[in-house]
Amino acid sequence: MANVLLGVTGSVAAVRVPALFDAFTAAGHAVKIVATNAATYFFDPAPLRASGVLTLDEDEWPGRDSGERYARGDEVLHIELRKWADVFAIAPLDANTLAKLAVGLCDNCLTCVWRAWDVSRPVVLAPAMNTLMWQHPFTRRHLRSIAADSGASHIPAHLADEALIAQINDRSKTLRIVSPVTKQLACGDVGIGGLADVSEVVAAVQFMLARAQAA
């Protein structure tokens, strides 16, 4: 059993958060979720909040709305989540958050966890976005930047998508990218960009945990 931190961003594919949570739990893992505020438009956060497993941005600053202030010794939530987790899986990963990860922006709890993450520990990214967003040159640039920071340097820029992801996964010992799939997307377009099947995301996490244990 491992501690799986599931990051969730504002892709329509966030509708599958309950299924992802159930699948990781069924695999025997303890699961916590950190979600962007945009992500909660696509799933009901109430049951997960009630069970204490879902963290939102406002949890980073408890009492702020009533005028409370940070006191020395208070927990820093994104650091506590990082300490707790054995693996960080962001599924779905939208285009906006992918860009933030690539350049190190940390303006919400999820991206703060990413920026504070120990890069020697495993990460799984499962992108999901519109086809033209996926095919935009920025996407490849951002993936290659993240890969370089994870030890997969010198990835050629000209590779086709599947070859690019295969090289990243082969060369990095701590990063695994789960390729999006071709399907009819929520917007009605047909093309690549859909979130991979829940079982594929879980399998990627299991693979990275096994690799980390063997290292």
> Which positions are catalytic?
78, 187
Residue 145 tokens read as 């930047």
Helices assigned H by DSSP within the chain = 17-26, 46-50, 77-84, 95-103, 109-116, 131-135, 137-149, 161-171, 198-214
Residue 28 tokens read as 């025997």
d(CA 111, CA 60): 12
Q: Which residues of 80-117 are buried (b: 16+ CB within 10 A; e: fewer)?
A: ebbeebbbbbbbbbbbbbbebbbeeeeebbbbbbbeeb
Q: What's the one-letter identity of residue 119?
A: V
How many helices (DSSP H) and strands (DSSP E) are in the chain?
Answer: 9, 8
Tell how far CA 206 is from the center of its chain.
Answer: 15
Length of the chain: 215
